[in-house]
Structure 1
Amino acid sequence: MDERNFRSSYYEKVGCYSVEEKKSLNKLLQDNIRNHSKLKQFCLSYTVPTAQRGLLWSIILGVLPLHKNSMDYILLQRTAVYEDLHRAVTKMQYIDQTSPKSKVLQTMWLLENGRLLHPLTGPPDDDNNFMEIVKVLLQIFDNDVETYWIAKEFFACTKGIQQECAKLMELTQTLLKREDIELNNHLEKLGVFNTGEILEKLYVTCFAGVITDTALVKVWDKICGGSRKIVVFVFLDLVKTLRNHILDCKSILDLKTLIEQVKDQDATIVNKAIKTWQSNKNHNEITVH
């Protein structure tokens, strides 16, 4: 790594960004009609500065409009929907002042999707997966209206990952066989690729609850930017980091317990995964539309 790249990498790790990157993003966000493709490309190319993440994700995910002049009006509409839902679930006594925010937002989401009164409609895992995503976003954003809408739209992205899960798991195994056949064979023996139980959960929730929020947002930047494939590289670096411990695992339950302890507080796994993903020439092969 040359001195300039090392410096850039270090600055980004401690939360500093180059003047050029900040200027570039500010210009994109200040345009009267934002360029959706360029905003997504920024997410794919860089870690989004914390102060602009909420706005950038909101525009990319369709929570806020590309037309800057329509921002205030759309925000009022989003706020009104949020308040109507919040009022409704409160009146129906599904929540009260003691309810955790994650439970409040999940209950509102269930009502909006017609599933609060009819809980048997829809996939059974959706409720838990949405909750996992909400818990992460509540740690990232302060505004509950913004959090609710981003959670809804980010969850919609994860449905795309779910649809591609078989391809993503196949790609995971193909790459792991190439890099570490012993580790692959052991994971295969544990049933990771056969049942897909652990892997699908990790991919569909985008590692929510496994990797610490401050590291995880870097991965979610890429997912918002359009990459589904990033989850594969996170898993590969995760299992390579835990390699020796994984080889000692006797069951899928042992592996699950081990993975749940990872956290990646210093973002070592995530940073490695992003670097590998970026150096992969076909990293946009599977994308979110």
Structure 2
Amino acid sequence: MAEDPQRNFRSHYYEKVGFRGVEEKKSLEILLKDDPLGILPPHYESHSAVLTFRKEQYQDLLQALQVIRFVQDSTPQVWVYLRMYQLESGTLPRRPSQSLEPEDVVFIAIAEAMEEMVENDVDAYWLVKYFVNQFNNKYSDSVAHLQPKSLEHYLNLEDSKLLTHLKTCLAMNKLPYDLWFMHCFAGCLPESSLQRVWDKIISGSCKILVFVAMEILLTFKIKLMAMNKAENIAQFLQNIPQENTDAIISKAIDLWHKYVGTPVHSV
């Protein structure tokens, strides 16, 4: 099946609750009340029930967290999402002040990015929850093999000279793998570029992460070749310039097509 360039993970989520062919940035509530394009989703009454359930569950979680004083009116929204997720998954810590686990840090990074993409808090929470659960359940075993094994393999095919330089500098083991692979580039790429990466993850391939990482290395090859210390290389890659990230993602997707193609469930 040919890939639709206009589809993204938000479209995928809305289809999960029954909406198709609509402008996904609008909230579900608005979609139920307003249809400016003349496109009515099928099975209207079932969608209303799903929407109501989502809202009620969100409010129940919020109220429970307020009662046990884990969230307040001043709590940042991404922390509210985290506490909701922890409450639902049975991982809520004994005290709000308890240090975050590494997976909590990842959740917050993804939630911060998602909050910039989605206008409605209820929708944002469900999208974050859906994305994190899918990534953890489907790709947790695969991600370990992507770093640095797969990255080295494909970089050697594209630019062996750059790979040799990074190895000579002992930089390959110091690249920001957590930021790239565990955070799925949240906090590294602007949201407009990030959602194109997440589209591929939702569609069934976490290998897109490898090609985004590789294209970042290729794009900034001249700068990286001028650096001889692993720490300097790692620091630069943790804070890459943001002005040309759309081009980076486009080239990364081309590389993904070149080496992987478009299998439905390729990891």
TM-score by shorter chain over 0.5:
yes
Q: Residue in 2 aligned with 1:25?
A: none
In structure 1, runs of 5+ residues without a counterpart are: 1-40
Q: CA deviation at 1:185?
A: 2.2
Residue equivalent to 2:154: 175
AA in 2 matched with 1:156: N
Q: Structure 1 vs Structure 2: percent identity of aligned residues? A: 24
| Equivalence map 1:60-209=2 (5 Å) | 62=16, 64-65=17-18, 68-69=42-43, 70-118=46-94, 124-159=101-136, 160-169=138-147, 170-191=149-170, 193-194=172-173, 198-209=176-187
Matched to 1:262, the amino acid is I
Which residue of the partner structure matches residue 237 of structure 2? 259
**Is the contact made by 1:190 and 1:252 (CA closer than 8 Å) also made in structure 2?**
yes
Which residue identity lines up with residue 265 of structure 1 in the other structure? E
* Matched letter for residue 186 of structure 2: A
Counterpart pick for 2:5 among 27, 46, 56: 46
**Are the equivalent residues in 2 in contact too, given 1:79–1:145 (CA < 8 A)?**
yes
Q: Structure 1 residue 268 and structure 2 residue 247: aligned?
A: yes
Shift of 1:168: 2.2
Residue range with higher mean Cα deviation, 75-84 or 167-176: 167-176
CA shift for structure 1 position 275: 2.2
CA contact (8 A) 2:171 2:231 kept: no
TM-score in terms of structure 2 length: 0.78
Root mean square deviation of aligned Cα: 2.8
Q: Deviations over 1:170-195 (max 9, x none)?
A: 22211111221221123334555447
Distance, in Å, in 1 between the alignment partners of 2:154 and 2:218 is 12
2 CA distance for matches of 1:190 and 1:125? 28
Q: Judge conservation of contact 2:176–2:237 (CA < 8 Å) in 1.
A: no
2:198 corresponds to 1:220: yes
**TM-fit CA distance, 1:279:** 3.4
| Offset of residue 118 of structure 1 | 4.6
5+ residue gaps, structure 2:
20-40
CA contact (8 A) 2:171 2:233 kept: no
Matched residues, number: 238
